[in-house]
Structure 1
Amino acid sequence: MMNYRRFLNAISEARQPSPLRVLAEVIDRSPPTTISMANGNPNSTLFPFEEASIKMRDGSSIKIDANDMSKALQYSPTPGLTDLKKLLMTMQKELHRPPTLTSTDENQTDLTITTGSQQALCTACEMLLARGDNVLVGSPLYPGAEVMMRPLGVNFLEVKTDGDGLCVDSLKQSLSKWTPDDIESSPDAPKVLYVVPNGDNPTGGGLPLHRKQDIYQLAQQYNLIILEDDPYYFLQFNKPKVPSFLSMDVDGRVLRFDSFSKVLSAGLRIGFVTGPQALLKRINYHLMASVLHASGISQMFVYKLLETWGMQMFLEHTQSVADFYEARRDVMLAAADKYLKGLAEWSVPRGGMFIWFKLLGVDDTYELITEKAIQKEVLFVPGISFCPDRSKPSSHIRACYSLATDEQMDEGIKRLASLIVEAQKETK
């Protein structure tokens, strides 16, 4: 059995449920004949919004009637609107089949809806990490994770990545200071592994199944919690999709973060975290003390869409989104083959929206990208933005293929090639 208290920091241990938030869940479960004079909700008949109709791109429409609108506008339970949470639990069961879904212990799978997966991840970090903790992270590292972890005072144990994602040998090397036998008694032993398994930002890498299995076994040996940050799950170019860490989590040591930002809407800000009940409870306590719950209107939008579409139509939609980005990737790869041979190196992205270029003969891309590229009217992100250790120079850049047209990508990569040639001349 997992000892979840080992992973909680002092702040999270001290959190208690808000009695008013608990009451909201009691009211939500109560039969309609219940007379409540307990809750402090405003009277929804005074809200100026009554109903809405959402026009879809295919010409159809989705109706939010007065009853659903009233639910969306009112306070709701912290874990999310009941109907949407049930639907998302069904989705996780069908897509990932968590081994602990039917457990009766603290490791039983639970789910909470959040304001995007970023909020869920940030809350989890504030629950698990304390000043001085060693945290295992891939290098390069998604900057959104870096900026939420660094102020907590943690130390980054960098694990190398390649086109297949996190490197198992590098992870073993990072753990080699400790042994599985003394992990519990070592105060500096890492307790958390952060990983983006699909369409890694910035590398586009994707973990194959055998690497995931090896990584999960190491997590078991060294008693690690895996933060599976997977906003690009539906943007995998692999067919079939590679099984998730959640799908192999027999212990209840995986917190999985999903998002609708890349496939439905970034602005709706709806994500969800799935994992062991013991940890989800602590995340909920944090939310009770901060945002209370994710936007009811956004949750209702997503619920009515998924209810109307059904799982099959939703998956067909996400596949069309993945096909779109795969085609965009191929356009940028064609431009790279055309202009960057001998000037840069890169791996073929397995998903997502990014290509990670290593510029040859350029030790540090910061000035090249933040000054000279801007002068040539082409924008990329310098590699140092993704380095856990910002003191080290980076010869890499990140290119995004989500928005630029075919012609713009061709011209943009052409301009990049000329910048590299100029930089190489300057260093000779």
Structure 2
Amino acid sequence: MNYCRFLTAVSAARKPSVVRKIFEVEENASAKMISLATGCPNPNVFPFRSAAFTMNDGSTMYFNEPLMKRALQYSLSRGIPELVTWMKSLQRSLHNPPSAGYSPERGQMDLCVTTGSQEGICKVFEMLVSPGDNVLMETPTYSGTLAAIHPLGCNLISVTSDQHGMVPAALKEALSRWDPSEVHRPGSTAPRVLYTIPIGGNPTGVSITAQRKKEVYELARRYDMLIIEDDPYFYVQFDKLWMPSYLSMDVDGRVIRLDSLSKIVSSGLRIGFVTGPKPLVDKLVLHIQ
């Protein structure tokens, strides 16, 4: 896929920060090295030395002094490496995305941590949506999403949903004004982005069926669109057999998935993560920098 065609001018122009490049070098350096390059404060002056957390099951989690120093220090924009690695393993275990084994250029699955899923939503929109763009959006939808996208000056095209989620026929009808063979032509106004909350949609609580997901994905392939899969309620499904995600069927590397720990761990921790093709996740990381 040509990911450049999806980027806004601002996102396309982002370049790596020199300071952040130095951080990457420091991550692999000796623990005895004292770097004066990145402005990191001396960890010995941090006010917290250690901590103990009592869990619901009665067990205790300890943060010793070395761990506490690391937790309080600057880290990589993508997220603490061990956390990113664990989250990638989680995504492979739960979704088994076909793109996990792809090359970076082909859209290899990648991931970055965000300050809650809402930050991820805002940054994804800012990466992909320019003033005047046509953006497909399942309706009704989350008010926070509308607040994030309206300032970008795009045209929202509503796609009807019912008790079984987004209606593929309604999506097909919304796209019918464009010829799939012409979506790559310069000046084409065809939508490049589809936003959806597939599980427990806010505010309806509706979940889309697996068959409908397949139909929606095929339409996204036909019109070469990205699917923004905003899925904060994935982990609170009542059925024992969880619904397959768009990420799990993403053979092209066209799904950007937003996950959150707010509903199952703590909303106050503000931990979200964005999974998607590496070329786009890399642009998100540049924005986080």
- Structures share fold, TM-score greater than 0.5: yes
- Looking at structure 2, the residues matched to 77 and 278 of structure 1 have their Cα atoms a distance apart, in angstroms, of 18
Please state how far the C-alpha of 1:187 moved relative to its aligned partner.
Answer: 2.3
Give the aligned partner of residue 153 of structure 1: 153
Please state how far the C-alpha of 1:33 moved relative to its aligned partner.
Answer: 5.8
- Looking at structure 2, the residues matched to 33 and 58 of structure 1 have their Cα atoms a distance apart, in angstroms, of 38
Give the aligned partner of residue 128 of structure 2: 128
Give the aligned partner of residue 6 of structure 1: 5
- Looking at structure 1, the residues matched to 32 and 252 of structure 2 have their Cα atoms a distance apart, in angstroms, of 41
Instruction: Please tell me the residue identity of whatever aligns with 1:115.
Output: T
Instruction: Please tell me the residue identity of whatever aligns with 1:127.
Output: M
Give the aligned partner of residue 273 of structure 2: 272
Give the aligned partner of residue 163 of structure 1: 163
More displaced stretch, 215-224 vs 103-112: 103-112
User: Cα deviation per residue 1:284-326 (whole Å; 9 max; x = unaligned)?
Assistant: 11100xxxxxxxxxxxxxxxxxxxxxxxxxxxxxxxxxxxxxx
Instruction: Please tell me the residue identity of whatever aligns with 2:270.
Output: R
Give the aligned partner of residue 244 of structure 1: 245
Percent same amino acid at aligned positions?
Answer: 46
Give the aligned partner of residue 64 of structure 1: 63
Give the aligned partner of residue 21 of structure 1: 20
Give the aligned partner of residue 172 of structure 1: 172
- Looking at structure 1, the residues matched to 28 and 212 of structure 2 have their Cα atoms a distance apart, in angstroms, of 43
Cα contact 1:163–1:204 (8 A) shared by 2: no
In the alignment, is residue 225 of structure 1 matched against residue 221 of structure 2?
Answer: no
Cα contact 1:199–1:206 (8 A) shared by 2: yes
Give the aligned partner of residue 283 of structure 1: 284
- Looking at structure 1, the residues matched to 31 and 72 of structure 2 have their Cα atoms a distance apart, in angstroms, of 18
Equivalent residues in 2 for 1:13-412, closer than 5 Å: 13-32=12-31, 36-106=35-105, 107-185=107-185, 187-288=188-289
Local SS of the residue matching 1:200: coil
Q: Which runs of 5+ in 1 are unaligned?
A: 289-428
- Looking at structure 1, the residues matched to 104 and 84 of structure 2 have their Cα atoms a distance apart, in angstroms, of 20
Q: Which runs of 5+ in 2 are unaligned?
A: none
- Looking at structure 1, the residues matched to 35 and 266 of structure 2 have their Cα atoms a distance apart, in angstroms, of 36
TM-score by length of 2: 0.96
Local SS of the residue matching 2:207: coil
Cα contact 2:51–2:63 (8 A) shared by 1: yes
TM-score by length of 1: 0.66
Local SS of the residue matching 2:99: coil
More helix by share: 1
Instruction: Please tell me the residue identity of whatever aligns with 1:95.
Output: L
Computing the radius of gyration over CA atoms, which structure comes out larger, 1 or 2? 1
- Looking at structure 1, the residues matched to 9 and 150 of structure 2 have their Cα atoms a distance apart, in angstroms, of 18
Cα contact 2:182–2:188 (8 A) shared by 1: no
- Looking at structure 1, the residues matched to 99 and 217 of structure 2 have their Cα atoms a distance apart, in angstroms, of 15
